[in-house]
Structure 1
Amino acid sequence: MRAEAGSKRVVVGIDGSPASYAALHWAVDYARMAGAGVEAVAAYDVTGAIGWSAPAMDAALNAEEAKRTLSAEIGDVLGTLHDVPVEEHMVRGNAVQALITAAEGAELLVVGNRGRGGFARLLLGSVSQQCALHASCPVVILRAPEDSHDDTVAA
């Protein structure tokens, strides 16, 4: 998962949320200024992999689908015209551990805050909070742009 020794890296967590897309944009902009590459990291798990709560699934198929989804999300968010190298990494397991491990030796770890609506937006999500507490590099936590939140109330 690591780039060449001595090269600058910015790690960003992607989870499909608007906040993670904001984090991806921010990470690419920062990496451009810092002369760094970006490592986009997403984590997945296989339903029913632990315990008896769900029917068995094909782990290889699930991993391939997760990789395709990650590539599509990055392509949709950044388009094809970004000038910063972005490596995609899909990791099976816990998101916090995947991000903390990926961020070892990185310049920066960038994650989104998935809080929604009103007071909840003031709170850190569990992944962002754990990354801020345990990462070995500085951590930037970004909210989704205001227009991506649906704060309307149904009548």
Structure 2
Amino acid sequence: MESQDSALHVVVGIDGSTSSHAALRWAVSHAKLIGADVVAVAAWDLPGAHGWSAPAVDADFDEEIAEQGLVDEVRTVLGESGAAHVRKRLVRGDTVEVLLSEAEGAAALVLGNRGLGGFRRTLLGSVSQQCALHATCPVVIVRPTVEVEA
């Protein structure tokens, strides 16, 4: 999708969850305070591409549809005018690896506390935990009940 440059920016992980929507709103609000751009990042990969199982091909995945879905999701959360100021990136790869890479040099990495996958009993999702442990920038983990004005 759109390329990332060296300008001050805040990276936010988007996955369709309520938590990631709260994170997007928080990232936009924070970016306004510090004069930064917002980069919304969604990661995708083929099932079985990481791990011991043989890679499977997802015949139903369409990257163009996924890119449009990301654009639509950001527009739904922020409205047309808010979405126009957010760079959108759909990147193939392991979610943690993609987010850590995209956040290199960022002012912050903002994530929801729990995404669409994982176990409900965990306080933080494994993606947010791994990013908090390994990111080279500050990491903010937002709960979906946090409401901020964008």
Q: For this structure pair, what is the TM-score category when the shorter chain's length is used for normalisation?
A: 0.7 to 0.9
Partner of 2:87 in structure 1?
87
The structure that has the greater radius of gyration is 1
Q: How does 1:69-88 map to 2 (within 5 A)?
A: 69-82=69-82, 85-88=85-88
Distance 2:55 2:138 in 1: 37
- Give yes or no for the alignment of 1:34 onto 2:34: yes
Deviation at 1:84, TM superposition (A): 7.4
Distance 1:115 1:68 in 2: 20
Deviation at 1:46, TM superposition (A): 2.6
Q: Which runs of 5+ in 1 are unaligned?
A: 147-155
Partner of 2:121 in structure 1?
120
Partner of 1:139 in structure 2?
139
Q: Could you list the runs of 4 or more consecutive aligned residues of structure 1 that deviate by over 4 angstroms after TM superposition? A: 48-54
Q: TM-score, structure 2 length as denominator?
A: 0.81
* SS across alignment from 1:31: helix
Q: Which runs of 5+ in 2 are unaligned?
A: none
Write the deviation string for residues 102-128 of structure 1: whole angstroms up to 9, x where unpaired.
000000000001179xx937x111000
